[in-house]
C-alpha cells in the first residue's frame, strides 16, 4: 500500500485543461501540495497542462506508474481502468461519482470495475472518492486545494467521504495520512488498517464509517490494531439503521446500530458520536500517556469550575481522588485561615493572598502527579490576554518544570479567557498535556483514556467467521415453532421444558401422565405466532379432566388454522420462575449476535436487552446478564432466592454456538426461558430460517 500512499510516479487521467478558480484541477492541487514524484497526465486533446507534457493514452506513458488517479465521466471509467490494467498499473483511485452511489446502472458499472481489477490483482480506491492524502510525502489526489501541514501529526484517517479531509479542523484535527474509501467497492477498512498498523508515521487512527459489509473481518483487524494504536470511530447512519420489521422479538428488539455498539464494546474500540468528540479524543490519544484508573486530581481557580468538573467526572465514570497529604502540608497553609482545601483544589484564594497563582498551581499539580492515589490530572487555567495578567499565563516552561515524563499520568487543561487560543498554541508541542476549551471536554478526554485502558487491559479476542451454509439446512419450514423448535434447541445443548406435541385428547392425557401434572397446553401453528395473546395457551392444568376440557377448547382454533407439519397441541410441564428472553440474530454485517433480556409478556414493554457477538464465554455471558436492568430479579430480589445463573450462562454460550453453526438461522427466540434456583428451561421457542 506504499504505492498508494507514497507513489514514486502517478498518472492523472481526466485532468481539466482549465486551472485556477473553480477548475478543481487535480494536477494543480497536487503540485501546490508540494509533490516531488513523477507526474504524468493523460488527456485526449491537450498537449500540455501546467507545464506537464500530456499523453493521449495511458499506454503511451514511458513507465508504469505506481498509481492512476481517474476522474473521467462515469461512462468512460471502465475503459480507462482497462487501459491502466493493461499497462500494468496496480493501484487505481477512481474519483468519479455516479456508481453504487447513484443508480442501478452505476452499481453494475461498479461491479465491472471491481471484476476487472481483481483479475489483474489490482486495487481500487473508490469510486466516488477524494482518494488519498499523505502529508509526510506531500501527496494528495484531492480535487480541492489542501494545505500540507509543516509537521504532519501521527494521525491517520480512513473515511467514507472526502469531507473530513477538506474539513480536518472540524473532524480529526490535522492529518498525517488519510484515505477516502468512497463506495469502498474494492479496498475497505481492514486492508488500510493492516497497512496503518505497520506504518511508523501513524500512532492514532480515526475511522469515519457509514456502513460495513464484512463486519467480523473488520473487527478482528481493528481489535488487533487498536491494542497498538488507538482507533477512534465516528459511525454515522445511526438514524437510518434502526431495528427493522422482524418475525421475532429478537429481530425487532435489536437494531443495527446497537449491534455496532456491541461490536465496538467487545473489541475495545472507542466510538464517538460527534465530530467534536472525534477531535477531542484523538488529541488525548495523541498527546497523553495512559489513564490507569478512575481517580482524578483537580486544580481550579474557581469553585464553580470545580463543581462543573465534578459533574463531568460523574458522567464519565471517573471520580475525584483523595487530597494528597502534600497539598495539605504545603499548599493549604499559604492560603487564608478560613480556606480549607478539598479535591477539587480551589487555588484562587491562595493565589490572591500569595500573589503567585502559578506557583500555587504548580505545587498542587506536582503533588497530584506524584501521588499514587491519583491516576490523571485536570487543571482549569485562566488565559487572559491582558498584560496585567501575564504572570498567570501557563507557559511551556511551567509544564516542563512538572517533569511530566517522569510521572506518566495524563494531564488535561481546560483553558478559559480571551487568550485561550494563544495559550493552547504555545502548549501544543508540550508532551503529556492536552488543552481543551471547556471543562467538560477536558474531563471527557480523561474518560476516553480511562475506558481505552480498561478495554486493552482485557485479554485479546477474535471472532470466527460463521460456518459456511450447510446444505442440510434450512429445514423445510421457514418458521419453526413449538416442540419442533424446542427439540432442535435441545439437540444443541439447550435446556428445554419436557413436552409432547399431541393431536387427540387421549394422546394429550397420556403425555401429561408421563410428564406429571400440572401441565400447560399450547396451540402450535404458524397462525398463532402470538398464541398467548390469541387465546392459544391454557396454563396450570392440574389434572386429566382439566386437560381434556382445555383440549376441547383449543382444538377448534387449531382446526381453523392453516395446516402445518409441526402443528398440533403441545402438552408441556408447567414451570414457574423468572422469565427471560434469549435470542439469536444474524446481523448483515457482524453475523450471529446473541441477545439476553427480560422475557415473558412484558418483553416489548421494558425492552431490557443486552447483546453481543457470538461466540461468548461463560464470563461474558454473565457480564451480559449483569448489564440488564432486570438483573437484580435473578440474584435474589427482595429476599427471593437466586436463580441458577450458571445454567443461564451455559445456555447462552450454547446458543451462541448455534448461531455460528447455522448462518441460515436468521432469527431465534427462546421466550420465555424460565429460570429457577434449580436450573432454567426454555418453554417456548421460534426459529426463522432464511
* Residues in 575-614 at the binding interface with a copy of itself, rule: CB under 8 A: 601-602, 605-606
For residue 584, give the C-alpha cell. 439469536
**Cα radius of gyration rounded to whole Å, the chain:** 32
The region of 58-66, 154-162, 582-590, 649-657 touching a copy of itself under the rule CB under 8 A is 154-162
DSSP string, 416-474: ESTTHHHHHHHHTT-TTEEEESSHHHHHHHHHHHHHHHHHHHSPP---PPPPPPPTT-S
Q: Judged by CB, which is closer to a copy of itself: 235, or 287?
A: 235
State which of positions 428-467 bind a copy of itself (CB under 8 A). Answer: 437-441
Q: Is 686 in the site for a copy of itself (CB under 8 A)?
A: no
In this chain, which of 34, 56, 167, 431 binds a copy of itself, going by CB under 8 A?
167
In this chain, which of 159, 206, 282, 486 binds a copy of itself, going by CB under 8 A?
159
Q: Judged by CB, which is closer to a copy of itself: 21, or 560?
A: 21
Q: Is 303 in the site for a copy of itself (CB under 8 A)?
A: yes
Q: Judged by CB, which is closer to a copy of itself: 146, or 647?
A: 146
Q: Is 549 in the site for a copy of itself (CB under 8 A)?
A: no
For residue 167, give the C-alpha cell. 474539513
Q: Is 626 in the site for a copy of itself (CB under 8 A)?
A: no
State which of positions 316-355 bind a copy of itself (CB under 8 A). Answer: 336, 338-340, 349, 352, 355
In the complex, minimum distance from the CB of residue 102 to a copy of itself, in angstroms, rounded to a whole number? 4
Alpha-carbon span 151 to 126, nearest angstrom: 28
Judge contact between 443 and 319, C-beta under 8 A. no
For residue 164, give the C-alpha cell. 473530513
- Can you tell me whether residue 403 is helix, strand or coil? coil
Q: Is 417 in the site for a copy of itself (CB under 8 A)?
A: yes
In this chain, which of 35, 55, 91, 171 binds a copy of itself, going by CB under 8 A?
171
In this chain, which of 144, 478, 513, 626 binds a copy of itself, going by CB under 8 A?
144
Pairing type for strands 295-300 and 319-320 reads parallel
Q: Judged by CB, which is closer to a copy of itself: 30, or 494?
A: 30
- Can you tell me whether residue 44 is helix, strand or coil? coil
**CA distances (Å), origin 222, targets 202, 227, 397, 452:** 15, 9, 38, 14
Alpha-carbon span 606 to 415, nearest angstrom: 43
Alpha-carbon span 296 to 435, nearest angstrom: 16
Q: Judged by CB, which is closer to a copy of itself: 308, or 653?
A: 308
Q: Is 169 in the site for a copy of itself (CB under 8 A)?
A: yes
Judge contact between 608 and 630, C-beta under 8 A. yes
In this chain, which of 15, 26, 27, 28 binds a copy of itself, going by CB under 8 A?
28
Q: Is 387 in the site for a copy of itself (CB under 8 A)?
A: yes
Alpha-carbon span 135 to 132, nearest angstrom: 10
The region of 3-11, 366-374, 387-395, 567-575 touching a copy of itself under the rule CB under 8 A is 387-395
The region of 27-35, 325-333, 497-505, 660-668 touching a copy of itself under the rule CB under 8 A is 27-35
Residue in 624, 614, 609, 618 with CA at minimum distance from that of residue 587: 614
In the complex, minimum distance from the CB of residue 39 to a copy of itself, in angstroms, rounded to a whole number? 18
Judge contact between 569 and 630, C-beta under 8 A. no
In this chain, which of 60, 311, 465, 646 binds a copy of itself, going by CB under 8 A?
311
Q: Judged by CB, which is closer to a copy of itself: 100, or 582?
A: 100
Site string for a copy of itself, 652-671 (x = CB under 8 A): --------------------
Q: Is 252 in the site for a copy of itself (CB under 8 A)?
A: no
State which of positions 197-216 bind a copy of itself (CB under 8 A). Answer: 208, 210
Pairing type for strands 519-524 and 537-541 reads antiparallel
In this chain, which of 134, 140, 141, 160 binds a copy of itself, going by CB under 8 A?
160
Q: Is 646 in the site for a copy of itself (CB under 8 A)?
A: no
In the complex, minimum distance from the CB of residue 360 to a copy of itself, in angstroms, rounded to a whole number? 13
Judge contact between 84 and 70, C-beta under 8 A. yes
Judge contact between 262 and 612, C-beta under 8 A. yes
Alpha-carbon span 415 to 424, nearest angstrom: 8
Handedness of CA 262, 266, 267, 273 (dihedral sign): positive
Q: Judged by CB, which is closer to a copy of itself: 348, or 689?
A: 348
- Can you tell me whether residue 5 is helix, strand or coil? helix
Amino acid at each position: 500500500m506504499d504505492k498508494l500512499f507514497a507513489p514514486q510516479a502517478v498518472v492523472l487521467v481526466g485532468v481539466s485543461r482549465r486551472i485556477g478558480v473553480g477548475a478543481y484541477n487535480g494536477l494543480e492541487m497536487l503540485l501546490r501540495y508540494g509533490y516531488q514524484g513523477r507526474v504524468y497526465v493523460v488527456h485526449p486533446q491537450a498537449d500540455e497542462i501546467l507545464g506537464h507534457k500530456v499523453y493521449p493514452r495511458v499506454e503511451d506513458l514511458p513507465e508504469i506508474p505506481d498509481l492512476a488517479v481517474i476522474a473521467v465521466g462515469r461512462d468512460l471509467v471502465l475503459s480507462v481502468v482497462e487501459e491502466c490494467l493493461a499497462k500494468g498499473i496496480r493501484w487505481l483511485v477512481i474519483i468519479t461519482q455516479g456508481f453504487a452511489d447513484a443508480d442501478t446502472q452505476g452499481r453494475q458499472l461498479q461491479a465491472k470495475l471491481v471484476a476487472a481489477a481483481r483479475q489483474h490483482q489490482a486495487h481500487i480506491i473508490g469510486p466516488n472518492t477524494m482518494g488519498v492524502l499523505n502529508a509526510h510525502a506531500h501527496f494528495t489526489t484531492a480535487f480541492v486545494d489542501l494545505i500540507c501541514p509543516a509537521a504532519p501529526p501521527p494521525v491517520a484517517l480512513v473515511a467514507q467521504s472526502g469531507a473530513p479531509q477538506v474539513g480536518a479542523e472540524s473532524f480529526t484535527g490535522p492529518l498525517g495520512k488519510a484515505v477516502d474509501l468512497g463506495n469502498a467497492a474494492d479496498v475497505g477498512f481492514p486492508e488500510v488498517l493492516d497497512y496503518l498498523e505497520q506504518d511508523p508515521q501513524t500512532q492514532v487512527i480515526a475511522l469515519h464509517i457509514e456502513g460495513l459489509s464484512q463486519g467480523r473481518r473488520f473487527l478482528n483487524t481493528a481489535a488487533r490494531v487498536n491494542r497498538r494504536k488507538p482507533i477512534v470511530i465516528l459511525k454515522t447512519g445511526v438514524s437510518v439503521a434502526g431495528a427493522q420489521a422482524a418475525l421475532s422479538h429478537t429481530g425487532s428488539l435489536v437494531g443495527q446500530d446497537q449491534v455496532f455498539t456491541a461490536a465496538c464494546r467487545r473489541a475495545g474500540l472507542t466510538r464517538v458520536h460527534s465530530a467534536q468528540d472525534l477531535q477531542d479524543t484523538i488529541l488525548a490519544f495523541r498527546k497523553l500517556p495512559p489513564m490507569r484508573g478512575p481517580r482524578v486530581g483537580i486544580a481550579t481557580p474557581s469553585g464553580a469550575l470545580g463543581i462543573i468538573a465534578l459533574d463531568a467526572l460523574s458522567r464519565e465514570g471517573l471520580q475525584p481522588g483523595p487530597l494528597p497529604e502534600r497539598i495539605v502540608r504545603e499548599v493549604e497553609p499559604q492560603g487564608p485561615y478560613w480556606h480549607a482545601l478539598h479535591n477539587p483544589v480551589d487555588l484562587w484564594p491562595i493565589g490572591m493572598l500569595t500573589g503567585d497563582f502559578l506557583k500555587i498551581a504548580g505545587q498542587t499539580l506536582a503533588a497530584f502527579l506524584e501521588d499514587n492515589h491519583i491516576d490523571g490530572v485536570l487543571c482549569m487555567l485562566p488565559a487572559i490576554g491582558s498584560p496585567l495578567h501575564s504572570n498567570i499565563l501557563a507557559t511551556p516552561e511551567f509544564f516542563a518544570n512538572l517533569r511530566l515524563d517522569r510521572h506518566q499520568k495524563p494531564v488535561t487543561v481546560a483553558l478559559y479567557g480571551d487568550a485561550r487560543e494563544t495559550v493552547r498554541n504555545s502548549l501544543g508541542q508540550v508532551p503529556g498535556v492536552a488543552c481543551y476549551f471547556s471543562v467538560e471536554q477536558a474531563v471527557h478526554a480523561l474518560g476516553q483514556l480511562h475506558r481505552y485502558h480498561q478495554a486493552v487491559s482485557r485479554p485479546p479476542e477474535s471472532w470466527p467467521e460463521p460456518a459456511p451454509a450447510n446444505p442440510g439446512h434450512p429445514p423445510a419450514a421457514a418458521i419453526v415453532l413449538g416442540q419442533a423448535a424446542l427439540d432442535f434447541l435441545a439437540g444443541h445443548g439447550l435446556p428445554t421444558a419436557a413436552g409432547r406435541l399431541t393431536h387427540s385428547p387421549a394422546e394429550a392425557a397420556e403425555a401429561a401422565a408421563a410428564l406429571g401434572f400440572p401441565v400447560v397446553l399450547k396451540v402450535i401453528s404458524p397462525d398463532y405466532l402470538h398464541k398467548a395473546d390469541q387465546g392459544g395457551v391454557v396454563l396450570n392444568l392440574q389434572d386429566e379432566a382439566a386437560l381434556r376440557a382445555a383440549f376441547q377448547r383449543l382444538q377448534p382454533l387449531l382446526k381453523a388454522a392453516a395446516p402445518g407439519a409441526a402443528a398440533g397441541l403441545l402438552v408441556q410441564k408447567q414451570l414457574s420462575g423468572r422469565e427471560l428472553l434469549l435470542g439469536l440474530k444474524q446481523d448483515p454485517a457482524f453475523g450471529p449476535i446473541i441477545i439476553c433480556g427480560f422475557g415473558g409478556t412484558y418483553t416489548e414493554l421494558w425492552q431490557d436487552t443486552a447483546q453481543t457477538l457470538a461466540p461468548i464465554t461463560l464470563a461474558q455471558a454473565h457480564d451480559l446478564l449483569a448489564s440488564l436492568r432486570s438483573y437484580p430479579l435473578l440474584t435474589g430480589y427482595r429476599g427471593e432466592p437466586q436463580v441458577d445463573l450458571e445454567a443461564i450462562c451455559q445456555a447462552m454460550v450454547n446458543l451462541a454456538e448455534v448461531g455460528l453453526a447455522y448462518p441460515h438461522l436468521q432469527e431465534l427466540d427462546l421466550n420465555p426461558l424460565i429460570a429457577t434456583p434449580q436450573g432454567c428451561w426454555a418453554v417456548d421457542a421460534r426459529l426463522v430460517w432464511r
